[in-house]
């Protein structure tokens, strides 16, 4: 059996402080309370996502900031999931932009095509 949530049910699970990863993004980043005590704000997670070029650089930021022992099993996976989701979304957007550029180039070869 498959459980499907409505949009309202899904958004009710997000806190009020959840941030959208971009204007056109479908990704919401929520605050994360670590089992060890500290809370990582969604703005900090999103900032690290946009500033990091690689997944390892992203992880290193949080390990340097909070220490490797601060993360319980699975907590880093949740944070890395935000990074991977955003990276996949960016790659898809780039692929679509390249496709549009190719289509524009194909139709733009003949300057008299619009006549």
How deeply is 58 buried, as exposed, middle or buried, from its count of CB atoms within 10 A (0-12, 13-18, 19+)?
buried
Domain region containing 18: 13-102
- 114 domain residue, yes or no: no
Smallest CA-to-CA distance from 89 within 24, 13, 19, 11 is with 24
> Buried b vs exposed e over 23-53: b needs ≥16 C-beta within 10 Å?
eebebbbbbbebeeeeebebebbbebbeebe
- 76 domain residue, yes or no: yes
Q: How many domains does the chain have?
A: 1
Residue 85 has pLDDT above 80, yes or no: yes
Task: Tokens for 75, please give them.
Answer: 């907590």
- 2 domain residue, yes or no: no
pLDDT band at 56 (very low <50, low <70, confident <90, very high): very high
pLDDT in tens, 15-49: 555 666 666 777 888 888 888 888 889 889 999 98
pLDDT in tens, 67-81: 888 888 888 999 999
- 7 domain residue, yes or no: no
Please give the pLDDT value at position 114: 56
């Amino acid at each position: 059996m498959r459980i499907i949530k409505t949009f309202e049910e899904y958004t009710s699970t997000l806190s009020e402080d959840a941030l959208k990863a971009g204007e056109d993004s479908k990704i919401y980043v929520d605050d994360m309370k670590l089992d060890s005590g500290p809370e990582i704000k969604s703005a900090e997670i999103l900032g690290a996502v946009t500033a990091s070029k690689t997944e390892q650089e992203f992880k290193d930021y949080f390990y340097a900031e909070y220490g490797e022992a601060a993360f319980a099993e699975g907590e880093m996976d949740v944070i890395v999931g935000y990074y991977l989701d955003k990276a996949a979304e960016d790659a898809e957007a780039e692929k679509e932009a390249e496709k549009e550029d190719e289509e524009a180039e194909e139709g733009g070869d003949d300057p008299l095509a619009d006549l």
